[in-house]
């Protein structure tokens, strides 16, 4: 099953910005990198620290707790496939942004 989570208008970040919001007991971080939107879980897979407030360098976010750096496009730790933060596609339809969450049962 695929769920399209509408991004509240006040939570849509401007270029270079970020926003944090809750959906169905998930904390999601939304980043706007040069007009491209990226959504990830706001929890570092290492020890659960928030990623939304991390340093952003292009499409790479750095965890505030231990400095791990994740590619927003793939979700993977830089230069590794050993650690990954859940990431989600973002669609914009008629000016409304949606985070697309595919349930694990229907994932390929």
pLDDT tens per residue, range 80-93: 999 999 999 999 99
| Of the candidates 59, 48, 57, the residue with the CA atom closest to the CA atom of residue 90 | 59
Ordered by start, the domain boundaries in the chain are 2-102
User: For 2-102, which CATH superfamily applies?
Assistant: Rieske [2Fe-2S] iron-sulphur domain (2.102.10.10)
Confidence category of residue 42, pLDDT binned at 50, 70, 90:
very high
Separation between Cα atoms, residue 79 and residue 72, nearest integer Å: 13
107/20: higher pLDDT: 20
- pTM for the full predicted model: 0.90
């Amino acid at each position: 099953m695929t769920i399209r989570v509408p991004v509240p208008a006040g939570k849509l970040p401007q270029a270079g910005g970020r926003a944090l919001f809750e959906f169905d007991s998930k904390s999601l971080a939304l980043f706007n990198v040069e007009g491209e939107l990226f959504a990830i879980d706001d929890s570092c897979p290492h020890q659960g620290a928030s990623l939304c407030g991390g340093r952003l360098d292009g499409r790479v976010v750095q965890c505030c707790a231990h400095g791990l750096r994740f590619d927003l496009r793939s979700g993977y730790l830089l230069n590794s496939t050993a650690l990954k933060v859940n990431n989600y596609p973002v669609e914009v339809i008629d000016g409304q942004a949606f985070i697309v969450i595919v349930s694990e049962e229907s994932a390929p």
